């Protein structure tokens, strides 16, 4: 069964469904885990010619003091939250969830009730709920999906087994790699260049959340991935969401081998294989 993905840029029109679906919480920092193969990341930086053009930028970023970096990241996070909370307060009557502190590594899991008024959809079918969900996210810089519950089970199992991975993102002058880390029902994405410069403080370019609360009663899991439009455009965010599906939802034998190599045998992993897999899909 195909997933129903939706992607759009922001629109000014307010949907009638807005009183049901207020908003997603503000993005936060990505926090990578020790399972990331540091040796491989360093080798990738040296081998991939696409990143050589960023050498000077990386060097400058790495010279930034930890205190200054933390201050800038926290200030930006607070400004983003203030903007979103103010807009939500003007548009919706639902109380916004309290923002998590930027320095918290393991925040409270996102809950569907924070986004959607569950009491208003109990009598609706999965198709009706899916339509409300995807229609609402047409008003945001986002990718959304209605996922069959059995597909999400496979995603969750693979995410627990392979919590960190690397996705190639086509750019005008080659491929840029994006680090993805899974934590509970969330997946956080950051460009590899940011990870190299900021390590665990790297700001995310996309935050993907799966909401499994309706899996048993309605047979679906709702997904929303909001992205930073200054880093990604709509098609690039869609590409990352599609790649996540290909690798984490019943992956082919070749893709599963890449997941396993990256996690357990980083010395045998070759980033060119990721590009080869993506190009073979595009050609087909």
The predicted structure's pLDDT at residue 94: 28
Q: For residue 161, how far is the Cα from the chain centroid?
A: 18
- Residues 180-200: pLDDT tens digits? 999 999 999 999 999 888 887
**pTM to 2 decimals?**
0.66
pLDDT at 247 exceeding the cut of 50 = yes
DSSP state of 120: G
Q: Measured between alpha carbons, how far is 125 from 217 in angstroms, rounded to an integer?
A: 10
Structure tokens at 155: 């995603």
* pLDDT recorded at residue 209: 96
**Residue among 207, 164, 155, 217 nearest 186 (CA):** 207
pLDDT in tens, 197-212: 888 789 999 999 999 9
Residues 66 and 57: their CA atoms lie apart, in Å, by 17
Q: At what angle do helices 253-264 and 271-283 cross, to 10 degrees?
A: 160
Q: Where is average pLDDT lowest: 54-58, 74-78, 213-217?
A: 54-58
Q: Treating both helix axes as pointing N-terminal to C-terminal, what angle do 253-264 and 149-161 enclose, rounded to 10 degrees?
A: 30
The confidence score (pLDDT) of residue 42 equals 61
* pLDDT above 90 (res 106): no
Residue 211: how many CB atoms within 10 A of its CB?
A: 23
Instruction: Give 261's contacts (C-beta < 8 A, 6+ positions apart).
Output: 268, 269
Q: In what order do the strands lie in the sheet with 4-8?
A: 4-8, 142-148, 220-227, 206-211, 186-191, 174-183, 164-171
The residue among 250, 235, 244, 249 whose CA lies nearest residue 278 is 244
The crossing angle, in degrees rounded to 10, of helices 149-161 and 234-248 is 80
Taking the CB of residue 17, how many other CB atoms lie within 10 A of it? 15
From 112-126, 162-176, 197-211, the region with the lowest mean pLDDT:
112-126
The full DSSP string for 208-264 is: EEEEGGGHHHHSEEEEEEEE-TTT--HHHHHHHHHHHHHHHSS--HHHHHHHHHHHH
Gap between the Cα atoms of 4 and 275, Å rounded: 25
C-alpha span between 98 and 25 (Å, rounded): 9
Of 143, 144, 145, 196, the closest CA to residue 166 belongs to 196
């Amino acid at each position: 069964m195909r997933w129903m993905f939706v992607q759009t840029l922001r629109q000014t029109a307010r949907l009638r469904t807005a009183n049901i679906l207020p908003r997603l919480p503000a993005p936060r920092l990505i926090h990578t885990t020790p399972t990331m193969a540091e040796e491989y990341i360093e080798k990738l930086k040296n081998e991939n010619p696409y990143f050589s053009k960023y050498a000077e930028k990386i060097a400058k970023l790495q010279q930034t003091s930890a205190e200054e970096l933390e201050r800038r990241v926290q200030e930006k996070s607070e400004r983003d939250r203030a903007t979103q909370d103010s807009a939500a307060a003007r548009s919706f009557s639902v109380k916004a969830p309290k923002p998590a502190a930027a320095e918290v590594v393991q925040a409270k899991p996102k809950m569907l009730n924070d986004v959607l008024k569950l009491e208003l959809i109990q009598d609706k079918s999965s198709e009706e709920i899916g339509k409300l969900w995807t229609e609402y996210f047409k008003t945001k810089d986002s990718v959304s999906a209605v996922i069959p519950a059995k597909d999400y089970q496979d995603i969750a199992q693979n995410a627990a087994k392979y919590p960190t991975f690397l996705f190639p993102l086509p750019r005008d002058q080659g491929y840029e790699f994006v680090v993805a880390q899974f934590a509970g029902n969330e997946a956080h994405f950051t460009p590899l260049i940011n990870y190299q410069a900021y390590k665990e403080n790297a700001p995310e370019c996309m935050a993907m959340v799966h909401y499994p609360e309706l899996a048993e009663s309605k047979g679906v899991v709702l997904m929303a991935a909001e992205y930073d439009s200054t880093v990604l455009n709509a098609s690039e965010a869609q590409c990352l969401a599609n790649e996540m599906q290909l690798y984490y939802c019943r992956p082919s034998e070749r893709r599963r081998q890449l997941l396993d190599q990256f996690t357990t045998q980083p010395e045998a992993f070759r980033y060119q294989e990721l590009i080869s897999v993506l190009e073979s899909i595009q050609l087909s």
